[in-house]
Chain A
Amino acid sequence: MSKLYTFLKYLAITLWSIFVVTPFLWALTTSFKTANGVTGGPTYLPWLQYEPSLSGWKSLFSGGGGIDIVKPYLDSLIVTASASVISIVLGSLAAYGLSRFSYRAGFVKNADLIFFFISQRIMPPIVLAIPFFLMLKWLDLLDSKIGLILVYVALLLPIAVWIMVDFFNNIPRQIDEMAMLDGCTPLQAFLRVILPNSLPGMIVAGMFCLIFGWNDFFFAFTLTFTDTQLLPVAVVALNSSVTPWWSLSASALISVAPLLLVAFVVERYLSHGTLAGAIR
């Protein structure tokens, strides 16, 4: 029974891995090919089946083949990193407040506030496009990195708050109290004791923010035009009739590279950080 279960489990994992990894391998081989390799039928093994070339990767930086990906790449990094950092900082502070203090304004209590945050993500993004457009226009921030950062913070903050509230709720309140008895002001207790113990939560929240920010196409597309262009828009704008396949493949791979990096780092970290030993 358990052997069969193990077998089926690994079978499922293997099939799914093949399904997920194959496009990447395909893009990887393609990115090292040239015209002969691409058009000569399906070939996979460099040197044996096709002559590898770095021209696809070189074209990313040389600007050949209609590719202009370096600036969008940097813009994407700046916008995503800024929006994520701001969201995590603000989100953690807000979440700590919601986790530790009771607010009441009429019938509105903590749980309602938390729901309010989450409810921002219930409607489809397209509903927000026009309001965001008008707001940024009024602020004169259309087609700018700062405008996009603001929009992303608005979208990422609910996720950060939601994850962090849950995380802080799982840290015993007695730890804050102990810190205060040990001479910390409430803010010091938060910074010196609660934050170090919620690093895993912040990393999870940060990962969500990075993935969302990096992948977002819709707002990057609707709220920017010429001065600012983020990577997803730039990649989509590449045209296969102008840009060679090997360059497209290379740009696709380099687009997902940061997320792969994040995933590996986070996986390592999450398996270490636990709260065990705080309280029994």
Chain B
Amino acid sequence: MSLQINDLTLAVDGVTHLDGISANFERGKLTTVIGRTLAGKTTLMRAITGLQHLDRGALQLDTQNFSALPAWRRDIAMVYQQFINYPHLNVFENVAFPLRRKKLDEAVIERRVRGVLDKVGLKGFEARRPSQLSGGQQQRVALARSLAREAGILLLDEPLVNLDYKLREQMRSEFRSLLAEQTQTIVIYNTTEPVEAMLLGDTVVVMHEGRILQVGTPAEVFDRPASMQVASVVNDPPMNFIQGHKGESTLELAGGVCLSLPWHLRGLTIGEYWFGVRANELRVGQTSVTGQVTFSEVSGSETFLYVDSPLGPLTLQVQGVHIHALASNLEIGIPAERLFAFESAAQRRLVAAPATGAQL
């Protein structure tokens, strides 16, 4: 029981939006699609809905040929990134709208709409117009409408991105419990944020420039990113990459930095590699290399440091608030045992990864 998409391809005016996308979405599973802006996430969703004309490709829901159905017959609920509601209808009628199109019994509509409005915390707002609600409430109306449908497929296109930080945190945890109830539904959730993808998804699909780079559980994608591109998409701030040479018993990194060879990289053949290290795993105060601070920003309990070093530009994520003057020197420790190794060939595939945090 699943939605299969096969070879979805779309190019508009020479720009590739989807490049032969094939995937399988299971019923009762939540799949997050993570990718930067313009990775093709929204286009993929629009292709599934039937709103987007495709150059090539087929969609199949269980045994049904989906491609032949127009959008209004596919029974897909979608929540847009922008808060889309019907401005001329009140909250109750907004949520009831798709149910009325299905010509459901008035009592059923009444029960479902009230139930779902209760769930999303909009009880008492039934008679308001969308314009009389705050942004977060408007997005809840859109969400309520999509949940009330009890559609076979639920698409959520960056539903939290236009909300303020606090509200996003709150709704993210509410999403988890709301979506956990959708046991018969195929849920696909687009996001640009690694945290969201890891937190919500049973499966994570990593997209970049219209292609799927990797599919796996959150742990697989995070701990064993298939390529440098994946590693940079699923880490926020992006992973640092350093060019280097693996020798007999040493790692010679760019800028003349030399480290002793960690155990997990011993199996690699001698040669050139790209090494990756997460921003939060670089150590301040240890002396592998000295760099100059080019920019520093404090975000809540963390400090982000941008440093120019002989290794190239590095980003550090440090717990706590640290004040560093611009252009001041910073001693940075590179934990050799935490390095990812990627081939230097064009695909930059992962060839060795450090032991996972959980030591699986």
Tell whether A184 is near chain B: CB-to-CB under 8 Å: yes
B 65-114 contacts with A by CB, 8 A: 70-72, 74-78, 80, 82-88, 97-98, 101-102
Tell whether A131 is near chain B: CB-to-CB under 8 Å: no
Tell whether B178 is near chain A: CB-to-CB under 8 Å: no
Tell whether B57 is near chain A: CB-to-CB under 8 Å: no
Tell whether B130 is near chain A: CB-to-CB under 8 Å: yes
Tell whether A233 is near chain B: CB-to-CB under 8 Å: no
Asked whether, in the complex, the Cβ of A280 is within 8 Å of the Cβ of B87, the reply is no
Asked whether, in the complex, the Cβ of A181 is within 8 Å of the Cβ of B76, the reply is yes
Tell whether A97 is near chain B: CB-to-CB under 8 Å: no
**Interface residue tally on A, bucketed by range:** 20 to 34
CA distance A84 to B114 in the complex (A): 43
| Stretch of A22-30, A245-253, A269-277 at the chain-chain interface | A269-277
Contact string, A172-211, partner B, CB cutoff 8 A, digits 1/0?
1011011111111100100001001100000000000000
Contact string, A118-151, partner B, CB cutoff 8 A, digits 1/0?
0000000000000000000000000000000000
Q: A174-B82, A175-B86, A182-B101 are in contact. Are A280 and B76 (CB under 8 A)?
A: no
CA distance A179 to B94 in the complex (A): 11
CA distance A272 to B278 in the complex (A): 55
Instruction: Give B46's nearest chain A residue, CB to CB.
Output: A177
Q: Which single member of B76, B78, B84, B98 contacts A278 (CB below 8 Å)?
A: B84
Q: Give chain A residues whose Cβ lies under 8 Å from the Cβ of B86.
A: 175, 178-179, 193, 197, 278
Q: Give chain B residues whose Cβ lies under 8 Å from the Cβ of A188.
A: 101
Q: Give chain A residues whose Cβ lies under 8 Å from the Cβ of B129.
A: 277
Listed residue (B76, B87, B162) with the most chain A CB atoms within 10 angstroms of its CB:
B87
Asked whether, in the complex, the Cβ of A178 is within 8 Å of the Cβ of B101, the reply is no
Asked whether, in the complex, the Cβ of A280 is within 8 Å of the Cβ of B97, the reply is no
Asked whether, in the complex, the Cβ of B72 is within 8 Å of the Cβ of A274, the reply is no
Asked whether, in the complex, the Cβ of B97 is within 8 Å of the Cβ of A177, the reply is no
Asked whether, in the complex, the Cβ of B72 is within 8 Å of the Cβ of A185, the reply is yes
Tell whether B258 is near chain A: CB-to-CB under 8 Å: no
CA distance A274 to B130 in the complex (A): 12
Q: Which single member of A174, A181, A197, A280 contacts B135 (CB below 8 Å)?
A: A280
**Interface residue tally on B, bucketed by range:** 20 to 34
Q: Give chain A residues whose Cβ lies under 8 Å from the Cβ of B88.
A: 193, 196-197
From residue B18, how far is it (CB to closest CB) to chain A in Å?
Answer: 18
Q: Give chain A residues whose Cβ lies under 8 Å from the Cβ of B71.
A: 177, 180-181
CA distance A185 to B73 in the complex (A): 9
Contact string, B116-159, partner A, CB cutoff 8 A, digits 1/0?
00000000000001111101001000000100010000000000
Listed residue (B74, B75, B88, B149) with the most chain A CB atoms within 10 angstroms of its CB:
B88
CA distance A193 to B86 in the complex (A): 7
Tell whether A279 is near chain B: CB-to-CB under 8 Å: yes
Asked whether, in the complex, the Cβ of B87 is within 8 Å of the Cβ of A178, the reply is no
Q: A277-B131, A277-B138, A280-B162 are in contact. Are A197 and B77 (CB under 8 A)?
A: no
Q: Give chain B residues whose Cβ lies under 8 Å from the Cβ of A181.
A: 49, 51, 71-72, 74, 76-78, 98
Q: Give chain A residues whose Cβ lies under 8 Å from the Cβ of B85.
A: 277-278
Asked whether, in the complex, the Cβ of A278 is within 8 Å of the Cβ of B51, the reply is no
Q: Which single member of B72, B75, B87, B130 contacts A184 (CB below 8 Å)?
A: B72
Q: Which single member of A183, A274, A276, A279 contacts B83 (CB below 8 Å)?
A: A279
Asked whether, in the complex, the Cβ of B131 is within 8 Å of the Cβ of A274, the reply is yes
Q: Give chain A residues whose Cβ lies under 8 Å from the Cβ of B135.
A: 280
Q: Give chain B residues whose Cβ lies under 8 Å from the Cβ of A276.
A: 87, 131
Instruction: Give A197's nearest chain B residue, CB to CB.
Output: B88
From residue A205, how far is it (CB to closest CB) to chain B in Å?
Answer: 18
Asked whether, in the complex, the Cβ of A280 is within 8 Å of the Cβ of B77, the reply is no
A 236-280 contacts with B by CB, 8 A: 274-280
Instruction: Give B162's nearest chain A residue, CB to CB.
Output: A280
Q: Give chain B residues whose Cβ lies under 8 Å from the Cβ of A177.
A: 49, 51, 71
Q: Give chain A residues whose Cβ lies under 8 Å from the Cβ of B138.
A: 277, 280
From residue A167, how far is it (CB to closest CB) to chain B in Å?
Answer: 13
Q: Which single member of B72, B76, B132 contacts A277 (CB below 8 Å)?
A: B132
Instruction: Give B71's nearest chain A residue, CB to CB.
Output: A180
Asked whether, in the complex, the Cβ of A197 is within 8 Å of the Cβ of B87, the reply is yes
CA distance A109 to B138 in the complex (A): 37
Asked whether, in the complex, the Cβ of B130 is within 8 Å of the Cβ of A278, the reply is yes
Q: Which single member of A172, A180, A197, A279 contacts B51 (CB below 8 Å)?
A: A180
Q: Give chain A residues whose Cβ lies under 8 Å from the Cβ of B97.
A: 179, 182
From residue A272, how far is it (CB to closest CB) to chain B in Å?
Answer: 12
From residue A218, how far is it (CB to closest CB) to chain B in Å?
Answer: 39
B 336-355 contacts with A by CB, 8 A: none
Q: A184-B101, A196-B88, A277-B87 are in contact. Are A178 and B82 (CB under 8 A)?
A: no
* With A177-B51, A180-B72 already in contact, 8 other A-B pairs whose C-beta atoms are closer than 8 Å: A178-B86, A179-B97, A181-B49, A183-B75, A185-B70, A197-B86, A277-B87, A278-B86
Question: A residues engaging B (CB < 8 A)?
Answer: 172, 174-175, 177-185, 188, 193, 196-197, 274-280
Could you list 25 A-B pairs, sorted by A, with CB under 8 Å? A174-B80, A175-B84, A177-B49, A177-B71, A178-B78, A179-B86, A180-B51, A181-B77, A181-B78, A182-B98, A182-B149, A183-B98, A183-B102, A185-B72, A188-B101, A193-B86, A193-B88, A276-B131, A277-B129, A277-B131, A277-B138, A278-B84, A279-B83, A279-B84, A280-B138
Q: Rank and list the top 10 A-B pairs by shortest CB-CB distance, nearest first.
A: A277-B131, A183-B101, A182-B98, A277-B130, A278-B87, A276-B131, A196-B88, A180-B71, A277-B87, A180-B72
Question: B residues engaging A (CB < 8 A)?
Answer: 49, 51, 70-72, 74-78, 80, 82-88, 97-98, 101-102, 129-133, 135, 138, 145, 149, 162
